[in-house]
Amino acid sequence: MRIMTADKRALRAELRQRRRVRPQLEREAATELLTRQLIAVASTLGPQTLSCYLSTPDEPDTRPFLAWAAAQGIRVLLPVSRDDGLLDWAPYDAADEELDTSGMPVPTTELLGPIAINDVGLIFVPAAAVDQTGMRMGWGRGYFDKTLGSMDRRPLVFAVIFDGELLDTLPRERHDQAVDGVVTPNRIVRFTV
């Protein structure tokens, strides 16, 4: 277990560094392409409510997609981390956001509680990387693994990553949750189970 944790820690550090040094022009191009891909997934699946997240500066930018979804009348729920390791959910309103105590962007709208996620028809989650089997590696806090693992009727879940973050294999632990697909600036990949 310690070796796997060390392997994950080293890989996360490498991926974090790659994201930090990504040139601004490349980021802007990736945002435009990613937004088109996210719109394609949402348009194909047609959920009335979906879950996404407010991206950090190093993550693939989700804000243009969130604005599109709101303009289409799709209800969007955003995660807000809690001290107990669970996620609350808050509606996206395209207005104010703030940083939580760990520096993550969060909406300022009313918190709905952890079970609100059960009403969504599609979930987009952040990831450090995903492998060819759909195994997702997050950033180590386990919020999304806990959420996805506790859902009775889980809708399709897509991880949002940059193109070079779809890897052959990833170290995995018992609590890790797989995703149904990935969305990158240049690809939409569905995994078969």
Q: CA geometry: angle at 67 spanning 93 and 50, to 5°? A: 75
The per-residue pLDDT for range 133-169, each reduced to its tens digit, is 999 998 877 899 999 998 989 999 999 999 999 999 9
Top pLDDT among 180 and 6 is at 180
Q: CA–CA separation, 193 vs 184, rounded Å? A: 20
Query: Residue 153 corresponds to which amino acid?
Result: R
Q: CA–CA separation, 136 vs 127, rounded Å? A: 6
State phi, psi for 163 to the nearest 5 degrees.
Answer: -55, -45
Asked if residue 94 has pLDDT above 90, the reply is no
Segment holding 42, helix H or strand E: helix 24-45
Q: What is the CATH number of domain 2-190?
A: 3.40.50.10420
pTM comes to 0.92
The per-residue pLDDT for range 15-42, each reduced to its tens digit, is 999 999 999 999 999 999 999 999 999 9
Tokens of 116: 């609100």
- Whole-number average pLDDT of the chain: 91
Q: CA geometry: angle at 120 spanning 118 and 122, to 5°? A: 125
pLDDT number for residue 64: 97
Whether residue 177 contacts residue 5, with contact meaning beta carbons closer than 8 Å, is answered with: no
Percent of residues, the chain, with pLDDT higher than 70: 97
Asked if residue 1 has pLDDT above 50, the reply is no
pLDDT band, residue 2 (cuts 50/70/90): very low
Tokens of 92: 């996206």
Whether residue 118 contacts residue 153, with contact meaning beta carbons closer than 8 Å, is answered with: yes
